[in-house]
Structure 1
């Protein structure tokens, strides 16, 4: 017997066709660099996507060609997200927070022919211009400044070009193999050069469908989404595609991501859903706490997704106290990126003080794997039981999980039976919730016993004076390694190292306690907001010469 279903490819063009024909009246708002707001409807967006697609084809774009973007979160970047892959090209987002040398490397490694860049980012582009040659540089003018005659003006390009008729609303789209590449994103390069992950149309569509589910982002026509997670990294967590698929109203925040600007934007647009890394929400929480009336001006339904690194318990509690729902999620560039969401099963929800505490413990876990994402914890003796105690490396596989890196580099990141080795140390409980305890490379081995840096960091973050904390291994002649804490205090607060170590003493064995606390003005972070522990380990090694650390 053979099935009788149609073969219908899952493509980004299909998302565009659906959005234009069903959600054409939905608004897309973008905050501009000068603080103004650009507004238009999905129908207008789709028409401009068709014009951009036609213009790119007019410049010679062929199927498989890469188009790089160096842009913030706004309407023109969204147009590129759809126009490039919808005509067979491959979108190559460049992470503007990376070092210029890494940005140039990524564009060269991906083989990008064209670049679309914000005018406010031209100074950054000028720093890499000599080391990467693009056939055309297309500039999105938003601040009104004059640009070099060598550049192509984005709006002029759209105005002069003919719309690609197959992408116009109700035209039915273009036939593209659903397994064709649609975009390439690069890891943040915490260990060596950034590595490219190439997503297919099929993997993006499936991922967008699954993250839209009620127990994930819960996307619907009733939401206003402000994706603070940058569109220049890992497809903006796939939210741009999922939003157009589901009819969500988008409120793109542009380059203004300081706490005050976010609060103002969330108030102005009555945002109901946002997503970002923990370090971003720290200032947001402090702003709301400093002026209690601000919270009342935001949507009562506001829901924040926290991912990118572990959500501290103190942050989740603070959001609860502000009446803001928060959900912890986990993912990686190699997972498109979302792999798990920590939504509570009904019988784990709170109701009493004891059950609220238990519910909080579950909410702080990385969560339940998304449908079709298979997980296992691998130990030296084999696959671990789901008992919430057996610890090993978390490994995953699924339809939007990478099977290799671009160019075949780092093949050791996959097992012989083709599971992705995440590099995370984790256990899985009987309910299926993943709990990541550390990164393999960040575990501290002291006297032959393991210490979790993440557990210490989360506990330190719970101290009322602590803004951020990081714990790394410092070399020790006797114990091999000992924990050393780096702490950034909140403005106007004071605490000593003894205060913070005393705070930890009631929670951990004595041998887990850091040997010392170093107070810093800032904790170094990667381009994606993750703590740069390689930098801190180097600092810790030099501090070993200090008498108090000897």
Structure 2
């Protein structure tokens, strides 16, 4: 027996219409070289319809991939809606990738057009001869006027003017693809996660939930997460759905810019990876000042250090809310908030909960699997692979045969993260499957070892990888970046003694003396995570 409900497709077009009807006077602010660019949701809506007309006139058809190569700016937001609302697919390219990586992605996605910020256009010049499928490049100006010699080069405002605005938004099937993001690829080539309108619509609604990010039209939201990182965690779509004031930091923002925007644009909510909040804290420690009127920070991408969470509580009265997610989850997976019964718990107990990855967002289900697919207990101790399912979790990778090993026989997605779930439902990440070190049939967690090493006063950064070993299968290798002038404190013996004294590691788990290396810097991926592939290559 079926319930009789109206068929209402969950598409980005309805989010766009809602902004027009309810929030036409809402504001979108972008930091630009000459000051702050401002306009309203009403003006934004008109420009999106004109951009849709221009794309249509340029021959863009439903299903075509259109790429962006841009900072967080208002024109990028126009693409976020115009491309998907036409039935095409927006491919946000990571501006920090090498020419080779970009070439691979553009060709794999078969992008037909690339919209590029003027300040980034030079990076695409060497790419065009290897990407024959790209018919034209549209440059989004910020005041300059040079031509870059790109194929079919057009200025964004000229391109916009060339179109007749569409008169009505098309009726789309909610399962139509609307966006594609590629994983940062810590192993092998990046993989494409293709998102549907339905998935992103439901993901957007989740962002507004009080226990998730609680975004509302009363908020002024600073979107510091790059729009080329999993759609800026979905915040551009959410801002438009809920009518929040959206604040974009524009080209290459620094800590001082973040502070200026928070104060100048009355920002109440901000989102970004831990690194930027460390930089903001350092800036304020040097120059003084506070973060009023900021109320809360959503932080993810890598684990939030305890010291950072405490600093924001104590110095600025701004809670950092930890999130965990993945490109394949659009990206929202968990949010760490304390449970009702913990309201009167000690600060230490509350920190212990807030520093975990969190509990699943409504819509996401999780379980932990052992090596043979058995489901492990939620006891906070049993560690295995985290598998998830939900309406915004991908069901396959784009154009990848044989990607079914990423999914369980009953269709759940294998995250590749090693985790534990406790009886309260909090998830704790122990490691990535590929970063676990298997020595003599036992596991060593590289994450635990890195965290312990980074607690050493002379260590600035630490990365731990496995090297092949004829006797033990694998052995841990530690790379340490010393704090200036403190190299002498990090002799192999001193490091081994420090690990032993921590109580976290058995003697056999501690790296051999010849496997402890001091280096100047740890290589990083385009999204700022440690690039362990580079470190592992020493043994290939």
Alignment TM class, shorter chain as reference: over 0.9
Where do 1:318-329 residues align within 5 Å? 318-323=311-316, 324-329=318-323
Q: Over residues 359-388 of structure 1, what are the superposed CA-to-partner deviations in whole Å (9 max), with x where a residue is unaligned? A: 212111111111121111111351011111
- Do structure 1's residue 190 and structure 2's residue 186 form an aligned pair? yes
Find the counterpart in structure 2 of residue 169 from structure 1. Answer: none
Secondary structure of 2:188's aligned partner: coil
- Give the CA deviation at 1:404: 0.4
Q: Over residues 423-469 of structure 1, what are the superposed CA-to-partner deviations in whole Å (9 max), with x where a residue is unaligned? A: 11111011111111000110122343222111222333445554433
CA shift in 2, pair 1:463/1:25, >3 Å: farther
Where do 1:2-401 residues align within 5 Å? 2-32=2-32, 34=33, 36-133=35-132, 134-148=134-148, 150-166=152-168, 173-291=169-287, 293-294=288-289, 296=290, 298-323=291-316, 324-349=318-343, 351=345, 355-380=346-371, 382-401=374-393
Given that residues 313 and 458 in structure 1 are in contact (C-alpha distance below 8 angstroms), is that contact kept between their aligned partners in structure 2?
no
Q: For structure 1, which runs of at least 5 residues remain unmatched after alignment? A: 167-172, 543-550
Secondary structure of 1:210's aligned partner: helix
Secondary structure of 1:406's aligned partner: coil
Q: In the alignment, which of 428, 447, 466 is matched to residue 421 of structure 2?
A: 428
Given that residues 269 and 296 in structure 2 are in contact (C-alpha distance below 8 angstroms), is that contact kept between their aligned partners in structure 1?
yes
Secondary structure of 2:292's aligned partner: coil
Secondary structure of 2:39's aligned partner: strand
- Give the CA deviation at 1:413: 0.8
CA shift in 2, pair 1:147/1:493, >3 Å: farther
CA shift in 2, pair 1:148/1:259, >3 Å: closer
What is the TM-score of this pair, normalised by structure 2?
0.92
Q: Over residues 281-326 of structure 1, what are the superposed CA-to-partner deviations in whole Å (9 max), with x where a residue is unaligned? A: 33223222333x22x2x22534222211222223323333323311
Given that residues 266 and 293 in structure 2 are in contact (C-alpha distance below 8 angstroms), is that contact kept between their aligned partners in structure 1?
no
Find the counterpart in structure 2 of residue 548 from structure 1. Answer: none
Q: How large is the RMSD of aligned CA atoms in angstroms?
A: 2.2
- Do structure 1's residue 456 and structure 2's residue 449 form an aligned pair? yes
CA shift in 2, pair 1:485/1:437, >3 Å: same
Find the counterpart in structure 1 of residue 490 from structure 2. Answer: 497
User: 2: distance between equivalents of 1:500 and 1:216?
Assistant: 40
User: 2: distance between equivalents of 1:10 and 1:466?
Assistant: 50
Q: Over residues 233-280 of structure 1, what are the superposed CA-to-partner deviations in whole Å (9 max), with x where a residue is unaligned? A: 211111110111111111111222332332333333232222222333
Given that residues 121 and 148 in structure 2 are in contact (C-alpha distance below 8 angstroms), is that contact kept between their aligned partners in structure 1?
no
- Give the CA deviation at 1:339: 0.9
CA shift in 2, pair 1:213/1:501, >3 Å: farther
- Give the CA deviation at 1:422: 0.7
User: 1: distance between equivalents of 2:457 and 2:40?
Assistant: 45
User: 2: distance between equivalents of 1:262 and 1:10?
Assistant: 34
User: 2: distance between equivalents of 1:81 and 1:332?
Assistant: 20
- Give the CA deviation at 1:393: 0.6
Find the counterpart in structure 1 of residue 397 from structure 2. Answer: 405
Secondary structure of 1:205's aligned partner: helix
- Give the CA deviation at 1:60: 1.1
User: 1: distance between equivalents of 2:294 and 2:117?
Assistant: 33
User: 1: distance between equivalents of 2:299 and 2:143?
Assistant: 31
User: 1: distance between equivalents of 2:222 and 2:361?
Assistant: 22
- Give the CA deviation at 1:358: 1.7
CA shift in 2, pair 1:194/1:302, >3 Å: same
Given that residues 314 and 461 in structure 1 are in contact (C-alpha distance below 8 angstroms), is that contact kept between their aligned partners in structure 2?
no
Given that residues 10 and 197 in structure 2 are in contact (C-alpha distance below 8 angstroms), is that contact kept between their aligned partners in structure 1?
yes
CA shift in 2, pair 1:174/1:490, >3 Å: farther
Q: For structure 2, which runs of at least 5 residues remain unmatched after alignment? A: none
Secondary structure of 2:438's aligned partner: strand
CA shift in 2, pair 1:23/1:518, >3 Å: farther
Given that residues 65 and 89 in structure 2 are in contact (C-alpha distance below 8 angstroms), is that contact kept between their aligned partners in structure 1?
yes
User: 1: distance between equivalents of 2:487 and 2:218?
Assistant: 44
User: 1: distance between equivalents of 2:369 and 2:427?
Assistant: 13
- Give the CA deviation at 1:148: 4.4
User: 2: distance between equivalents of 1:290 and 1:349?
Assistant: 34
Given that residues 180 and 192 in structure 2 are in contact (C-alpha distance below 8 angstroms), is that contact kept between their aligned partners in structure 1?
yes
Given that residues 350 and 358 in structure 1 are in contact (C-alpha distance below 8 angstroms), is that contact kept between their aligned partners in structure 2?
no
Secondary structure of 2:55's aligned partner: helix
User: 2: distance between equivalents of 1:413 and 1:464?
Assistant: 40
- Give the CA deviation at 1:350: 5.4
User: 2: distance between equivalents of 1:514 and 1:357?
Assistant: 32
- Give the CA deviation at 1:21: 1.2
